[in-house]
Amino acid sequence: QWEHTAGHVRNGIMVCSHEWVEGLLDYYHFSGDERGLETAIGIGNNVLKLLDTPMYAVPGEANARETGWALRTLMALYIETSDDKWLGKCRWIVDSFHTWEEEYGGWLAPYTDNTAIRVGFMIGVAAGSVIRYYRVFPDEKVKQMLIGAIDDVIENCKLPNGLFEYKELPSLARNGNNPLLLELMSIGYELTGNLEYLAHGMRTFRYIMQSNVPGTNGKKQVIGDAVIGSGGSPKSFGQSFIPLTTYYNATSRHYQELVDAGYVKIRSEYDRFFM
């Protein structure tokens, strides 16, 4: 995956971003095709090499999604293979997130020579990967780091209209609609049991379901044992499906509690999704 910044696919450098192996491993289990496992392991080996490059040597000098995606890949491979070779960099990434938070006050991303900002969906990538580590290796320090990162996004990236901003720059502080923000709120609920985290995602969920966010809506056909959807890329689907289903599952189970607690102001806007 080329550097996902200005220039996108030209004049960039290789980074461990916008790719992960969970789908390949699912394909391997569903089909028995060993190419799925072999390809996932090959990607993991490349990620290990990329993490040794200077870009990732100092916490905070790359954005949170870069090492976030890497951690997601490496944890999936550890869970699949039980091979400790993947764990060293997993622990190194988690430790770097601790250092990052302590030195910058949050998982801020460098954007100009003298500017570091919060990008909610990138923090969502990081948190979604750290939680995968935490589920296998529970640790109170990691838990508190995750809660702190989620609270930081709510405090600094939530807009008055109930959505989250795209990026924390005046020129980019428009409505955000990335489903990864829903996974972020779901993680907050998973760690604390506090329904307020789910409430913070309700406006985003409704916005996504009522708009053509790539990977979430559009024409679908059932052909044999497959659902074929139009529009968007496999990456768009991959980063949308888990956040949406995770958030929907938690919110639908607790919807009446959210109503009773006063978090649902206009029921007609949400009943059709969660009732």
Fold type of domain 21-272:
Glycosyltransferase (1.50.10)
Instruction: Say if residue 190 is exposed, middle or buried (CB neighbours under 10 Å; 0-12, 13-18, 19+).
Output: middle
Parallel, antiparallel, or unpaired: how do β-strands 226-229 and 220-223 relate? antiparallel
> What's the predicted TM-score (pTM) here?
0.86
**Residue-by-residue pLDDT tens, the chain, 275 positions:** 334 444 445 555 666 667 789 989 999 999 999 999 999 999 999 999 989 988 888 777 777 778 898 999 999 999 999 999 999 999 999 999 999 899 888 888 887 778 888 888 889 999 999 999 999 999 999 999 999 999 999 999 999 999 999 888 777 778 888 999 999 999 999 999 999 999 999 999 999 988 865 555 556 788 888 777 666 666 677 778 889 999 999 999 999 999 999 999 899 999 999 98
Q: Cα–Cα distance between 124 and 200 in angstroms, integer?
A: 14
Are 153 and 101 in contact by the 8 Å Cβ rule? The answer is no
Strand-pair partners of 188: none
Q: Cα–Cα distance between 154 and 133 in angstroms, integer?
A: 23
